[in-house]
Amino acid sequence: MDHAKPVGGKIFTPPILFLSLLFLIGFYFLVVRYIYGIGSVSNLSHHQAWGVWKVMGVLVGAALVNGGYVTAFVVYIINKGTYHRFVRQAVLFSLLGYSFAGFSLAYDTGRYIGLLNFFIPKYMQTNSVLFEVGICITAYILILAIEILPAILEKFMPEGGQQNWAASLHAYLNKILFLTVAFGVLLPTMHQSGLGGLAFLFGQKLSPLWQTPLISLLYVISSIFMGFCIVIALECLTVADFKSKSYVNMLGTMMKMAFYVAILYSVIRWIEIFRNGAAGQAMELSFESLFFWAEWILIVIGLYLVSGQKKLSSPKNLFLGSCVLLTGGILYRLNTYIIGYESVPGLTYFPSLPELMISIGMFALQIIIFITIIKIFPVITKE
């Protein structure tokens, strides 16, 4: 059923070398951070304790790599086997994204050795949303690793179907796949909602344009349309098998799902905005309302680009639409944790260059690893 093959080709291409340079710059600042502390490289401060590292690295990052969640859902729960060709690439991207989210916590947290306390019973604080998110993401990284393992094992399996250790492990993993997949759907639902739930405890420090008891629900829903969008955008970038009609059809169908989920998200968002009495605030001219409307302009343009069957069969619209919707989802997260968050009136936050470079450098490393793996291991299916 799988025709996944390694992409092949040279490992060190010019884009990879450029990304490596970005990584090295980030790595330099990372060393500085570990020697002189968080304040030496970042603009994090008492009034904005969470900046790009946490918000881009974890909150946005986790939603951006949600492809593993939606593909597992479509293939194994709604039972659409043909969509299986999208699973491996999405799961690999998810695995990398989540691992890097975990790693970004190691330089974002001020007392990183204390991160181990998440796993020591006497320190576990089960009332905490952050505890739930931490445990859930750790467990999910494990599940994603198990989901991607077959692709690695196939590299070591003998030709012609003989048995060896890799083949028997491969067969075993296939047997328990339903158990793995169920975790692969449950865990992201839990932590994606938790990532929103974190903001609920901010209370009035978060603007009523974003603050709502339903923020957990909104984060799950938005992470689902973002998951579809990232699968589509990635496919357009790496596989781009547009000559195959069934392939474009499948992308279109996934986009349609994203479309309806994004509509559902918008409806709930607006009900909550009116219920909060924040509609007036949206009309005022302010920094916050500017970003609020930027968020909605992106969502509306994204929805427009993929509305209707004709646009859904155009690869250009699919790619653009998914990118614009993704940006809208990213901005929603930035707005919740940075723009709409205000602890001291009048004080703002913008990341410093070294702080940004660490995030960009880590993202570059993630892309390098991703491209290298799809060149060596059978991840991508192309007809």
Per CB under 8 A, contacts with another protein among 24-83 are: 34-40, 42, 44-47, 49-50, 73-83
CA distance 138 to 92: 16
Shorter beta-carbon distance to another protein: residue 283 or 344: 344
Q: How far is the CB of 18 from another protein (least distance, A)?
A: 32
Q: Exposed (0-12), middle (13-18) or buried (19+): which is 269, by Cβ within 10 Å?
A: buried
Task: Give residues 283-322 in contact with another protein (rule: CB under 8 A).
Answer: none
Say if CB 93 and CB 113 are below 8 A apart: no
* CA distances from residue 29 to 41, 113, 349, 362 in whole angstroms, order as listed: 7, 20, 20, 11
Q: Which stretch binds another protein (CB under 8 A): 23-31, 126-134, 283-291, 360-368?
A: 126-134
> Quick one: which of 216, 210, 229, 222 has its CA closest to 266?
222
Shorter beta-carbon distance to another protein: residue 2 or 304: 2
Q: Which of 25, 141, 167, 186 binds another protein (CB under 8 A)?
A: 186
Task: Give residues 127-166 in contact with another protein (rule: CB under 8 A).
Answer: 127-132, 134
Contacts of 337 (CB under 8 A, 6+ apart): 50, 54, 55, 59, 199
Count residues near another protein (CB under 8 A). Answer: 85
Shorter beta-carbon distance to another protein: residue 40 or 286: 40
DSSP string for 262-311: HHHHHHHHHHHHHHTT-HHHHHS-SHHHHHHHHHHHHHHHHHHHT-SHHH
Q: Exposed (0-12), middle (13-18) or buried (19+): which is 377, by Cβ within 10 Å?
A: buried
Q: How far is the CB of 46 from another protein (least distance, A)?
A: 5
Shorter beta-carbon distance to another protein: residue 75 or 236: 75
**Nearest-5° angle of CA 100, CA 40, CA 28?**
50
Shorter beta-carbon distance to another protein: residue 15 or 114: 114
Say if CB 291 and CB 335 are below 8 A apart: yes
Q: Is 182 in the site for another protein (CB under 8 A)?
A: yes
Q: Which of 125, 286, 348, 372 binds another protein (CB under 8 A)?
A: 125
The three-state secondary structure class of 346 is coil
Say if CB 362 and CB 57 are below 8 A apart: yes
- Structure tokens given for 264: 């559902």
Task: Give residues 247-276 in contact with another protein (rule: CB under 8 A).
Answer: 249, 253, 256-257, 260-261
Shorter beta-carbon distance to another protein: residue 333 or 370: 333
Q: How far is the CB of 203 from another protein (least distance, A)?
A: 4
Task: Give residues 196-235 in contact with another protein (rule: CB under 8 A).
Answer: 197-198, 200-205, 213-214, 216-217, 220-221, 224
Q: Is 115 in the site for another protein (CB under 8 A)?
A: yes
Shorter beta-carbon distance to another protein: residue 14 or 178: 178
